[in-house]
Structure 1
Amino acid sequence: MTTTISDTETRGDGQASDRHSVQTSDKGTTLRHTDDQSIREATICVVGLGYVGLPLAVGFAQSNYRVIGYDIDESTVEQLQAGVDTTGDLSDDSIQDGEISYTTSASQISEADYIIIAVPTPIDEDNQPDLSYIESAATTVGSKMNPGSTVILESTVYPGSTRDVLVPALEDASDLTAGEDFFVGYSPERATPGDEEHGLADVVKVVSGQNKKVLNDVATLYESVVDAGVHRAPSIEVAEACKVVENTQRDLNIAFVNELSMALERLDVDGQAVLEAAGTKWNFHDYRPGLVGGHCIPVDPYFFTYRSAQEGFEPELMQTSRKVNESVPDHVAELTIKALNECHKTLRESRVLVLGLSYKPGVGDIRSSKVEAVIDTLQEYEIDIEGFDPFVDDETIQEQFGIEAQERLSFEGVDAIMLATPHEEFEQLDLEAVSTELADDPALIDVTGALEEDAAAEAGFVYRRL
């Protein structure tokens, strides 16, 4: 049985209960934190300490909250306890900044007033959303949380997932009722790895709750750590949808310029020059062709198309955009083969050095890099591939890509250079000096057009880009 004292009711001592509510259940009585002062005194548990969860945990700790960081990965937790930033986006000093503790003990979840779940939501081999991590995390949280707790999901999901997946798992594990014994909100993550200008505090946070009271509570919590402010979504489903729509829009726009670059190449028209010319119009949106990797843009559209198809509507434009962007690695491989042929190279005797293997500049994450697909295609032609990335260790490169990793950057005897991920470290390459180390008649495949074509031609390269 559960009884609730609302904001305007009177407590047993005859005093008005201003902006607080009390829940009484079989598990005990817990004060519901709803005023600003009470929220500042709350304990927060972040479940999942990856590139989303760890910055959240650190951000709340730096804002003087007591924070518990929970993860099932013992290695991750051990490193964090030792003061090592496991994401590379923060700093070792910040890991221990404030009242924060890291643990693999689920029992500590019971100490939290707010529990934020930030676990992965990948897609499977059939491009279907995999919400098993959410179900597992919810089962763990539900078995440990106390009445009065608020659970906030940050993982990327399709609309309706909080209601249909998270809440039932929490209720089953806790034997409590959402909206009565505990409360639920959703706030989509907007983390941008490697981008120092758009951290947790700098980007407007979309928040939502199962009712107005929870929405205001969740908004107040995030307002205390997000300088850019919050946007109150009218429903959890709106907040869930906005996350996948943000990245689906980018996928659509990138697909357009990728397809455009392929079409203009066949017309023998400089695609980059076309985009620069079109960009002089005030309302033209500046997108550039490239490999579409990462954990968001190539993944989030599948969440939307999956849920939409369940309701009988196939979003064809979104699906086509995914097909276009997934075809780009093969096109980059084709550009490389054509460049080697133009240089009169025998493919099976050619050496190609790939510069940059992570999914985007400035980060070392290679787990969802589309460079791997380019390499796989080139290896089908028995081309010898070597790789170098200043952000990725050699052993990881060898294991992930199945190629030789250069410990120190060397161009000696290389037939072609592929600048796949334009880290800042590569932008100042002296192409004249580099060309003296290469084999005769070298090729340069500058995937994103980061280098000057004229400089490459003057240095004797056969130059190709998207």
Structure 2
Amino acid sequence: MMNKYESFSNVAVIGLGKIGLTLAAVFANNGYKVFGADKNKDVINSINQGVSHIKNEPGLDQLVLNAHEEGCLWATDSNSEAVSQSNIIVVIVPVLVNEVNDIDYQYIDSAVQDIANGIKKGSLVIFETTLPPGDTQNRFGKKIEELSGFIMGEDFYLAYSPERVYSNRIIQDLQNYPKIIGAFNNKSLELASNFYKKALNCELIEVGSMETAEFSKVAECVYRDVNIALANELAKFAEEKNVNISEVIEASNSQPYSQIHSPGIGVGGHCIPIYPYFFINKGLNKGLTPLSRKINDSMASYAISKIEKRINSLKNKNVLIMGLSYRENVKEPTKSTTLLLINQLREKNVNIFINDPLFTDAEISNYGATPLSIKDKMILEIDVIIIQSFHKEYNDINFKDFTNCQLIFDGRNKLNQEEIKQLGIQYERIGGI
């Protein structure tokens, strides 16, 4: 069945996570036959039944169902099979950092080897995974050449176009954000641009090289990390001067050239805590970029120190962290500040509880904390609450039910501090007075 379609209308999407599946579904709804590949057999089975395994992504369920019913989207656990059926290959396999912040290529290296084993002459390979500058050509393009025997720019074409989307609004962002494209040569750029014009129907920004496109995506993340670090530094100084940083930021940002971000208990997710190391580990190891990483990762410790100043010792206290996810309304624990809080609180002999409506009790337990429902009578024994990610479900919490709570640390500046104080509970945050 797979071979009955003309190959130039076929696209392989390697990696069917949140972004990969959304890309595959959008491509399939815009006139392409899409062969998605992922190593998770449960993911494959779900997609081949027309069901998205990704939740909380508006519009994705319907796109996957539509593509399935139209016979335009199939999934396989073989990267090579998907590649062999296609002439356009889009790679969205994660590159992460390990525990000591060295770049971890294991997943994408394996995928590239599969691509080289399945690639056909004349194919276009586009990397969307965020990468250190130079990797598309020097690490992956050359590996495909080595394993396939094809010549880059002649037998296969190569481009880089970074994903630039935000969880819970990926489809919207794909339409609204310009698509940056860099390519190995003019033919590669022409093929990639023509593909994205049809596949996404969005504005394109063609840049002079793949390295420029790679650099631009990492630079976006470094900018945000540095800006947040600045906000955190200003917030701490504002506390010393008895100034409310939220008012400062609102006032300052009324001038269009001021765009100070919000301070907070930490920075998490797949992007901001990870991608700056793509520069740091390639030589940018002095200056604002590494310093910002240190500042933002120190905010969990700073928050704990502020709590201890208010209630003295945390030893044997019952502390509830609200939110395992790195941010609100997303089920994603990668680099979550909660993980830093768990490690540091454990060293202080704290009884750690976590509530997160997006995770099961078993999933929470895997992170070394006790899951706690807001309806559990154990909330009567909680001494301290730390707001780490403020999910929409938390809007309806009545904190007066926490009758033993001494302090709420509002790590995301979401609560009305006067209302908390009226309950007889101390209130603390980053940059507050």
TM-score (norm. length: structure 1): 0.84
Partner residue in 1 for 2:427: 463
Greater RCO (Cα-Cα under 8 Å, separation 6 or more): 2
Aligned to 2:293: 322
Contact 1:110 1:144 in 2 (8 A): yes
* Pair 1:125 & 2:96 matched: no
**Deviations 1:371-413 (Å, cap 9, x if unpaired)?**
111122122222212111111222111102x111124544322
Question: Would the aligned equivalents of 2:112 and 2:143 in 1 still touch at CA under 8 Å?
Answer: yes
Question: Is residue 267 of structure 2 the alignment partner of residue 292 of structure 1?
Answer: yes
CA deviation string 1:136-170 (max 9, x = no partner) = 21111111111010111111111111111011111
CA deviation digits over 1:285-337, x for unaligned, max 9? Answer: 14111210011111111101222x1xxx6441111111111111111222232
Partner of 2:394: 426
Aligned-pair Cα RMSD in Å: 2.0
**What per-residue deviation string (whole Å, max 9, x for no partner) do you get for residues 85-120 of structure 1?**
223225444323221000013323211010111111
Distance 1:379 1:409 in 2: 25
Q: Distance in 2 between matches of 1:276 and 1:409?
A: 36
Contact kept? 2:268, 2:334, Cα under 8 Å: no
- Classify the secondary structure of the residue corresponding to 1:97: helix
**Residue 355 of structure 1, CA deviation:** 1.3
Alignment correspondent of 1:406:
372
Matched to 2:289, the amino acid is M
Equivalence for 2:158: 184
Uncovered stretches (5+) of structure 2, i.e. residues with no partner: 1-5
Task: Give 1:197 deviation, angstroms.
Answer: 7.2
**Counterpart of 2:65?**
96
Q: Tell me how far apart the structure 2 counterparts of residues 108 and 250 of structure 1 sit (CA, whole Å).
A: 36
Q: How far does residue 261 in structure 1 lie from its aligned partner after superposition?
A: 1.5
Q: Take 1:336 and 1:83, find their aligned partners in 2: how far apart are those partners?
A: 48
How far residue 230 of structure 1 moved from its aligned partner, in angstroms, is 1.4
Q: Which segment drifts farther, 61-70 or 350-359?
A: 350-359
2:384 counterpart (380, 403, 416): 416
**Partner SS, residue 89 of structure 2:** strand
1:367 is aligned with what amino acid? T
In structure 1, what is the Cα distance between the partners aligned to 2:255 and 2:43? Answer: 49
Instruction: For 1:55-204, list aligned pairs within 5 A.
Output: 55-88=22-55, 89=57, 91-98=60-67, 99-105=72-78, 106-195=80-169, 198-204=172-178
Match of 2:244 in 1: 270
Q: Secondary structure at the match of 2:159?
A: strand
Gaps in structure 1 of 5+ consecutive residues = 1-37
Q: Which moved more, 1:187-196 or 1:247-256?
A: 187-196
Q: Distance in 2 between matches of 1:437 and 1:140?
A: 54
Deviations 1:254-305 (A, max 9, x none): 0001112222223333222322332333322141112100111111111012
* Residue of structure 2 equivalent to 1:29: none
Give the alignment partner of residue 304 of structure 2, picking from 325, 333, 345: 333
Question: Any conservation in 2 of the 1:203–1:226 contact (CA below 8 Å)?
Answer: no
Match for residue 195 of structure 2? 221
Q: What is the number of equivalent residue pairs in this alignment?
A: 415
- Shift of residue 219, structure 1, vs aligned partner: 1.0
Q: Is the 8 A contact 2:196 2:202 kept in 1?
A: no
Report the Cα distance in structure 2 between the residues aligned to 1:326 and 1:55, rounded to whole angstroms. Answer: 31
Does the aligned pair in 2 maintain the 1:204–1:226 contact within 8 Å?
no
- Distance in 2, matches of 1:354 and 1:409, equals 15
Q: Aligned residue for 2:3?
A: none
User: Structure 1 residues 66 and 321, CA, compared in 2 at 3 Å: closer, same or farther?
Assistant: same
**Are positions 1:303 and 2:278 aligned together?**
yes
Q: How far apart, in 1, do the equivalents of 2:371 and 2:240 lie?
A: 34
Q: Which residue of 2 aligns with 1:451?
A: 415
**Identity rate of aligned residues, in percent?**
30
2:166 & 2:223 partners in 1: Cα distance? Answer: 16
TM-aligned CA distance change 1:197 to 1:55, over 3 Å: closer
C-alpha distance in structure 2 between counterparts of 1:351 and 1:314, whole Å: 39
- Find 1:244's aligned residue among 218, 223, 226: 218
Checking the alignment, whether the CA contact within 8 Å between 1:353 and 1:385 is kept in structure 2 is yes
Residue 59 of structure 1, CA deviation: 0.8
Structure possessing the higher radius of gyration over alpha carbons:
1
Deviations 1:8-65 (A, max 9, x none): xxxxxxxxxxxxxxxxxxxxxxxxxxxxxx99x6100001111221111111011121
Give, in whole Å, the separation in 1 of the partners of 2:49 and 2:358: 22
Contact 1:109-1:145 within 8 A present in 2 as well: yes
- For residues 280 and 200 of structure 1, do their structure 2 counterparts lie closer, same or farther at Cα, with a shift above 3 Å needed? closer
Q: Which moved more, 1:411-420 or 1:274-283?
A: 274-283
